[in-house]
């Protein structure tokens, strides 16, 4: 099953609770599940202040997650906004079977992947129409994946890595990004992807193998 | 001299690259993010109030459009012409001369 369709299903049925631990490196761990539960309860009562708190609490994590999948600030901003709008509109249906954090990461990753799929389709269409000569306009600007750091001297390897992360299959990319860039643990990623820890280990193993192969090939070329 | 002297261990290289990835400056949304989210919510709410929800579904919108198009005509196709021979000139009527 395609990851996007899985995400659409999972956005309705939350089955795996996210277990928090004090020793995790992820930011925001000082927030207990109870604090999130209180926040959800207030949100479901229509509290404006609770929504403001939610956005303030999660905007950086959601933005970074989306940015690491899309690599353009404009798209990341747009998708991050969409995530919070969806939270506001659907919080009444949130049953708490997954933690709020898990739910937010699911929304963020699924929306980011959908946005990327749409952008790729538009790019393909623009290329196709340009081949047929339907328009003489300049093609839509391709997304700039160049990270500011990667533009500095000696950062080619990082840029190469980022390029190849973007080409990974969806689930591998989400798992790799959530683990290596967002610092989520295997259990947390499993909850977000609604899969098992061993499946996450497998995804990460395959992702690392692919990335290492490409990076080393480039180095020895 | 063996190449391995100059080339670091692939595992170390990989770990260094991952550390480099994790050491990237943390991106964040522009200031006043909450205000933009609220504005987006308000815009969506206004759009929903302007149109009933069922009309936002393409199938219903197309059905409504086709009904409007059908009814907006003069309905000539649906009604029989009350005087079908009114404007038909027969050979029994001679052409009248133009007034001078």
CA–CA distance, A149 with A142 (Å, rounded to integer)? 19
Residue A145 pLDDT exceeds 90: no
In this structure, of A87-96, A126-135, A145-154, the range with the lowest mean pLDDT score is A145-154
Q: What is the mean pLDDT of residues B22-38?
A: 92
Q: What count of residues does chain A have?
A: 221
Closest C-alpha to B36, from A91, A63, A46, A37 = A63
Nearest Cα residue in chain A from B38 = A85
pLDDT class for A73, splitting at 50, 70, 90? very high
H helices of chain B, in order, are 10-22, 33-50, 58-72
Give per-residue pLDDT as tens, A5-25: 444 434 433 333 333 333 333
∠ at Cα A197 (A157, A184), nearest 5°?
A: 50
Kindly determine whether residue A59 and residue B29, on different chains, have CB atoms separated by under 8 Å.
Answer: yes
- DSSP state, A46? T
| CA separation for the pair A31, A20 (Å, rounded) | 9
Find out whether A60 and A183 touch, Cβ atoms under 8 Å: no
**Minimum CA–CA partner of A72 in chain B:** B27
A-B contacts (CB, under 8 Å): 72
What pLDDT does A134 receive? 62
Per-residue pLDDT reduced to its tens digit, B46-85: 887 776 666 667 788 888 888 888 887 655 555 666 665 5
Token pair for B2? 């063996």
Asked whether the predicted pLDDT for residue A151 surpasses 60, the reply is no
Chain B 7-36, CB below 8 Å of chain A: which residues? 10, 13-14, 17-18, 20-22, 24-30, 33-34, 36
Cβ atoms of A109 and A174 closer than 8 Å = yes
Instruction: Evaluate whether A123 touches A140 at the Cβ level (below 8 Å).
Output: yes
Residue with tokens 């990461």: A105
CB contact at 8 A, B33 and A73: no
Q: Distance between CA atoms of A66 and A76, rounded to whole angstroms?
A: 5
Q: How far is CA A126 from CA A70, A113, A130, A161, in A?
A: 19, 20, 6, 27
- Treating both helix axes as pointing N-terminal to C-terminal, what angle do A156-166 and A197-220 enclose, rounded to 10 degrees? 130
Helices assigned H by DSSP within chain A: 3-10, 33-44, 48-70, 73-90, 100-132, 156-166, 170-176, 186-193, 197-220
* Interface residues of chain A, partner chain B, Cβ below 8 Å: 52, 55-56, 59-60, 63-64, 67, 73, 76-77, 80-82, 84-85, 88-89, 147-149, 155, 157-158, 161-162, 180-181, 183, 208, 212, 215-216, 219
Residue A86 has pLDDT above 50, yes or no: yes
d(CA A207, CA A214) in angstroms, rounded, equals 11
A3-220 is classed CATH 1.10.4190.10: no
Residue A193, both tokens? 């992807």
Contact B29, A59 (CB under 8 A): yes
């Amino acid at each position: 099953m395609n990851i996007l369709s899985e995400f659409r299903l999972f956005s309705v049925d939350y089955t795996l609770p996210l277990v928090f631990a004090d020793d995790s490196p992820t930011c925001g761990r000082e927030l207990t599940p109870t604090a999130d539960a209180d926040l959800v309860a207030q949100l479901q009562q229509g509290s404006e202040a609770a929504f403001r708190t939610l956005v303030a609490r999660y905007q950086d994590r959601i933005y970074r997650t989306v940015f690491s999948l899309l690599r353009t600030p404009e798209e990341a901003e747009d998708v991050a906004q969409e995530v919070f709008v969806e939270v506001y509109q659907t919080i009444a249906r949130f049953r708490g079977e997954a933690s709020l954090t898990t739910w937010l990461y699911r929304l963020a990753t699924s929306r980011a992947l959908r946005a990327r799929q749409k952008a790729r389709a538009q790019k393909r269409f623009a290329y196709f129409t340009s081949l047929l000569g339907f328009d003489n306009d300049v093609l839509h600007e391709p997304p700039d994946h160049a990270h500011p750091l990667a533009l500095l001297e000696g950062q080619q390897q990082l840029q190469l890595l980022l390029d190849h992360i973007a080409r990974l299959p969806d689930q591998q990319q989400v798992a790799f990004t959530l683990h290596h860039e967002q610092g989520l643990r295997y259990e947390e990623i499993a909850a977000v992807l609604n899969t098992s820890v061993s499946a996450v280990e497998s995804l990460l193993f395959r992702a690392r193998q692919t990335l290492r192969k490409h990076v080393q090939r480039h180095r020895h070329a | 001299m063996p190449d391995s002297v100059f080339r670091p261990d692939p595992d170390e290289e990989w770990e260094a690259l991952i550390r480099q990835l994790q050491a990237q400056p943390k991106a964040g949304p522009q200031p006043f993010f909450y205000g933009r989210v609220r504005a987006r919510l308000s815009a969506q709410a206004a759009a929903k109030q302007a149109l009933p929800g069922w009309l936002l579904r393409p199938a219903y919108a197309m059905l409504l459009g086709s009904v409007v198009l059908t009814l907006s005509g003069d309905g000539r196709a649906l009604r029989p012409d009350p005087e079908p021979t009114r404007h038909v000139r027969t050979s029994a009527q001679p052409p009248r001369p133009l007034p001078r």
